[in-house]
Homo-oligomer: A and B are copies of this chain.
């Protein structure tokens, strides 16, 4: 089964927001063995939406739209999809009642404009919205299926998981299964070169590298009757990849580096504390996004100035005067003082120059030192990051996480 995703909303065409709905839906559809062939984005314009729907219906069997189901004047999806499928809009009484009691529960009067959300294409399967007001729907007609979901990501995801996933599982006839391998410390063209013979010979599974900021991923995809059969095709390929570039591999489950590290810390019950300067809280912020991390992480210091390094941690004035804030010596002293303060098994420090200002010839923008004290094992890594302030800070956080990953293995 082939699919097209249509995101409806002029704000997308103005570049006001980033489209994360297509990311989520594409992942879920692929897990279900449905090929996604197109993403379309079109504005709140009936004619163009209708033409795109017709193009999509000519080229695919399943179309999923997001957006345009709300209460405002710009919300045009219901009528346009109904028209493309040759249906009228009719009042769906249970949806109207739900709308009315939603507003009643909040002690708010329902603005008139909300009512249009309860007029849905006749003969459609209505999908309840448990995180917002606009219901969605599924229409099957002329050998095609159109599923219309709300635009706001949390509502869309909620509706997909509650109602749509199960519906599609019935419809799908084969399984595409992907393993995504994630690497840190090697570039995309080097990775492809190391694996060139595998990539050239590929049939089923296919192998595709792609670069993200500071990282590279490899998607190994097999088509088979079911997940087990797909995995039997994928495993030997992954084994061969490991044997060639395994040093750089941090996950074969498409996890974020921070998730891998947080899980390892929690499993091994290793306590961690952090002292950050140029990353200003990003490392701790990212680690604490993982639920349950309070088992390991208790204390972080953001020592953004020299004075803060001295007053908060006890780094020596001499060290700062002699070597400067951005130095191996300062990174080292930050973790030693951090250990004295917190007694954590693992202490991490980051000090560097994020830019755009602050660089000199000796100490350019992007120079970062990462200190790590694990039990009695002390190391300091010097990295040279490229790019703008955000990229340098992000790369520093990833480098620190990778250092932790390797030392607690």
- Listed in ascending order, the chain A residues whose CB lies under 8 Å from chain B are 7, 9-20, 22-28, 30, 36-44, 48, 51-52, 55, 59, 70-74, 111, 113-114, 152-154, 178, 180, 188-189, 192-193, 199-200, 208-213, 217, 219, 221, 254, 274, 276, 278-285, 287-289, 291-292, 294, 297-305, 307-308, 311-312, 341, 355-357, 387-391, 393
Task: Indicate whether A299 sits within 8 Å of B281 (C-beta atoms), given known contacts A36-B13, A111-B189, A193-B111.
Answer: no
21 interchain pairs (CB within 8 A)?
Answer: A10-B208, A13-B38, A14-B26, A14-B219, A15-B23, A15-B28, A16-B23, A19-B23, A37-B42, A38-B40, A38-B42, A72-B189, A111-B189, A152-B211, A153-B213, A154-B387, A278-B288, A279-B288, A291-B389, A292-B357, A298-B307
Asked if A71 and B41 make an inter-chain contact with CB atoms under 8 angstroms apart, the answer reads no
CB-CB nearest in chain B for A110: B189
* A265 vs B216: C-alpha distance when bound (angstroms): 38
Selected from B27, B40, B74, B387, the residue in CB contact (under 8 A) with A40 is B40
Selected from B16, B38, B292, B305, the residue in CB contact (under 8 A) with A217 is B16
Asked if B13 and A23 make an inter-chain contact with CB atoms under 8 angstroms apart, the answer reads no
Asked if B38 and A15 make an inter-chain contact with CB atoms under 8 angstroms apart, the answer reads no
Asked if A26 and B12 make an inter-chain contact with CB atoms under 8 angstroms apart, the answer reads yes
Interface residue SS majority, chain A: mixed
User: How many copies of this chain sit in the oligomeric assembly?
Assistant: 2
Residues on the B chain within 8 Å of A19, using CB? 18-19, 22-23, 39
Asked if B280 and A287 make an inter-chain contact with CB atoms under 8 angstroms apart, the answer reads yes
CB-CB nearest in chain B for A209: B72
Most buried by B among A14, A212, A276, A388: A14
Residues on the B chain within 8 Å of A18, using CB? 18-20, 23
Most buried by B among A59, A114, A281: A281
CB-CB nearest in chain B for A290: B389
Min distance, Cβ A229 to any Cβ of chain B, angstroms: 20
Min distance, Cβ A246 to any Cβ of chain B, angstroms: 21
* A279 vs B300: C-alpha distance when bound (angstroms): 12
